[in-house]
Chains A and B, each alone.
Chain A
Amino acid sequence: MIVIPLIKGMLHTLRRFLFGPTFTVQYPNRKRWFIFKKEERKRIPERARWRIALQRHEDGKERCVACMLCSAACPSEAIYIEGAVNDLSKPISHGERFARVWNWDMGRCIFCGFCAEACPEEAIIMTDDYELAKYTRDELILYKADLLLPQGTPPRRVWLGFYRELPPDSPVTKPLGVHVRYERYLRRENPTLYKPFYNRAKRVHQFLLDEGKEAK
């Protein structure tokens, strides 16, 4: 009989209609006063490589010591750093120097993670904050105040590479990224050819200074 499979199919869809779970993730859900909508979002992996952030030590001092390795490692020149010497009476970082300016150009960044890999202080981590859309290009440049994690945020280790698992309690030794080695090679072999990076983040910083605005 041809009728039985037809009825079976109808019952199947009816079951889905009445009792089937829905799999839609209601992601950009605005909360309104007249209707309650639950905010849902997809859980993304802990080690996802989205917006970078700057970590602090446990005592609240910044980890970044303005060594410029991240800036050197960055293939798209998205990081601009100006270092300054710590005032010893109230130091900002644990090292001799600290980052007076730490700009990150999200429009240039390719989220490769080399900066986090190159950082000897584990100051840079990549977070799972993926809501990065902005309305203007200027908003795409984040300053140190935007990037620094608040004090008390649990510290996260940067593991070697992104695909190799390490036991969590093993001492992490960090080899320098290939870009850093290439920079050092250039600097050693031909010091006259070596020029510091003049990237967009720096130009924007300079522009803001020229405008008389205080860079954040």
Chain B
Amino acid sequence: MLSPEILSWIWLIAKVLIVLVVVMVGFVMNMVWAERKVSAFIQQRRGPNRVGPMGLIQVVADILKMAFKEEVIPREADRLIHFLAPCIIFTMAITALAVIPYDPWFYITDVDFGILFVVAAASMGTYAVMLAGWGTGSKYPLFGGTRSAAQLISYEVPMLLSMMSVAVMAGSLSLQDIVSAQAKLWFCVSQFPAFLVYTIAMFAETNRLPFDMPEAEAEIATGYMAEFSSLRWGWFYAGEYANMVVASFVMTSLFLGGWQGPLAPGWWWFLLKAAAVLFLMLWVRWTFPRVRYDQLMALGWKILIPVALVNLIATATLKVLL
């Protein structure tokens, strides 16, 4: 007989599998396709349309191509770190999925420190970039890794500050509580400065244009990914998109009301909002050019951190007074 304990374990594993399948197949793979299609439409091309209907199976072809490529490991590389970096980036990217509230009743786990968990996982992903830069024993990847570290410091701070003002509004660090607190008004309205700061920091956090300093092709030749090939490069690629998906999930939960929405079930609203955020990321990427490194730093330290800090103080003061 199946005891309730075993059943709950099976349900937990089933939830993890459902989330992984939905995120990996539904989002990460289709994001690769969507990125190519959106960029093509913006540039008035057609994009991939040969493999499968509308090129949807192009990603499978790409994965097969990557799997059959030769794997080159540089002589100077630290083999352990070179092996670990792609594993870490992807693992850490999908770790944050554990605390995301997809639905009032569907979530893998709901912890009291949900925001901290998400930020910790995202920061660990940056470690993978730094390790990749160091472990390949090559110049440009090292530049990329160093840039990633500097970018982490200057963008993790405003991101956390903006998240903290949201937490102050909701009175909890748990993502499920934060979503519940947005029943009347989404935080993207009541916390508009924090919303802007988080949006900008999100691009830097996920290494997307216009802030993709660690992998700037024109300057440092794809940076930390330069010495990776075959499926290891593929894991970096997938990790980048998984990071984007996680960032969009977090933004949906924190600012866009999560699963709140009329008529349709909660998970439907959640995925719809996440898809909208993802489209915004693609849209911004194919609109703006890459900023200079000092501009990036100036934006982070001189504008975003003061704005987020003032917003946090004002929110806390109002919360105490009212």
Contacts and interface: CB of A to CB of B under 8 A. Distances in A.
Nearest to A25: B46
Contact of B45 (A6, A10, A22): A22
Contacts of A22: 40-41, 44-46
Contact of A35 (B38, B41, B46, B53): B53
B42 A17 contact: yes
Interface in B37-53: 38, 40-46, 49, 53
Given A13-B286, A13-B287, A20 B46 contact: no
B45 A24 contact: yes
B284 interface: yes
Contacts of A16: 41-44
A168 interface: no
B41 A17 contact: yes
A171 interface: no
A21 B40 CA distance: 11
A13 B279 CA distance: 12
A9 B46 contact: no
A9 B209 CA distance: 15
Nearest to B37: A17
Contacts of B284: 10
B38 A9 contact: no
B44 A23 contact: yes
A206 interface: no
A26 interface: yes
Interface string A1-18: 000001001101110110
Interface in B46-87: 46, 49, 53
B288 A6 contact: yes
B287 A10 contact: yes
Contacts of B9: none
Interface string B270-302: 000000000000011011100000000000000
Given A14-B283, A17-B283, A9 B45 contact: no
Chain A, interface size: which category? 10 to 19
Nearest to B289: A9
A17 B288 contact: no
A26 B284 CA distance: 28
Contacts of A35: 53
Nearest to B38: A17
A18 to B, nearest CB: 8
Contacts of A24: 45-46
Contacts of A26: 46, 49
Contacts of B45: 22-24
Contacts of B49: 26
A10 B288 CA distance: 8
B197 to A, nearest CB: 14
A6 B41 CA distance: 20
B35 to A, nearest CB: 13
Nearest to B280: A10
A26 B243 CA distance: 34
A6 B200 CA distance: 13
28 contacts: A6-B288, A9-B287, A10-B283, A10-B284, A10-B287, A12-B287, A13-B42, A13-B283, A13-B287, A14-B283, A16-B41, A16-B42, A16-B43, A16-B44, A17-B38, A17-B42, A17-B283, A20-B44, A21-B44, A22-B40, A22-B41, A22-B44, A22-B46, A23-B44, A23-B45, A24-B45, A26-B46, A26-B49
Interface of B: 38, 40-46, 49, 53, 283-284, 286-288
The 10 A-B residue pairs whose C-beta atoms are closest, nearest first, are: A24-B46, A13-B287, A20-B44, A17-B41, A13-B42, A17-B42, A9-B287, A16-B42, A22-B46, A24-B45
